[in-house]
């Protein structure tokens, strides 16, 4: 990765679901942690390849290694927010062998309401 590519300030939040006392579920989000990140849309081949397993990855997001959540882990319980859009974390891991960056594949959930 080249200098200056981590140019989007995103918020990484942990999502928890709780019953609302009826038949619905309330989604609760942590305060979140701000990070500089690189975001790119995946190509159509990658998108359609993930459709075979039922979940379409729409974007890849890179962070600096070790600068992620408060507990240091990114899981499927996390969401990433940028410019009034929310992205669900599908999977993630080290982007290289040097432990410099973490690459996360996400699904665009749409506009935050």
Per-residue confidence (pLDDT) for residue 43, from 0 to 100? 75
Residue 2 lies in a domain: no
Residue 89 lies in a domain: yes
Residue 56 lies in a domain: yes
pTM score, whole prediction: 0.79
Task: For residue 103, give the H/E element and its range.
Answer: strand 101-111
Per-residue confidence (pLDDT) for residue 69, from 0 to 100? 57
Q: For residue 44, what is the domain's CATH number?
A: 2.40.10.270
Residue 1 lies in a domain: no
Task: For residue 4, give the H/E element and its range.
Answer: none
Tally of domains in the chain: 1
Structure confidence by residue, pLDDT tens digits, 28-84: 999 988 989 999 998 765 545 555 555 688 999 998 877 655 556 788 889 999 999
* Sign (positive or negative) of CA dihedral 28, 75, 38, 50: negative
Residues 11-35 have a mean pLDDT of: 88
Give the whole-angstrom CA distance, residue 43 versus residue 8.
20
Residue 74 lies in a domain: yes
Answer for the pair 39, 61: CB distance below 8 angstroms, yes or no.
yes
């Amino acid at each position: 990765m080249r200098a200056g590519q981590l140019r989007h300030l995103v918020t990484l939040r942990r999502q928890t679901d709780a019953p609302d006392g009826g038949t619905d579920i309330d989604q609760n989000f942590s305060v979140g942690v701000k990070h500089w990140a690189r975001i790119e849309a995946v190509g159509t081949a990658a998108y359609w390849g993930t459709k075979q397993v039922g979940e379409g990855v729409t974007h890849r997001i890179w962070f600096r290694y070790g600068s992620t959540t408060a507990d240091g882990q990114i899981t499927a319980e996390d969401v990433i927010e940028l410019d009034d859009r929310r992205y669900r974390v599908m999977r993630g891991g080290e982007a290289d062998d040097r432990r410099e960056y973490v690459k996360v594949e996400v699904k665009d959930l749409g506009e935050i309401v």
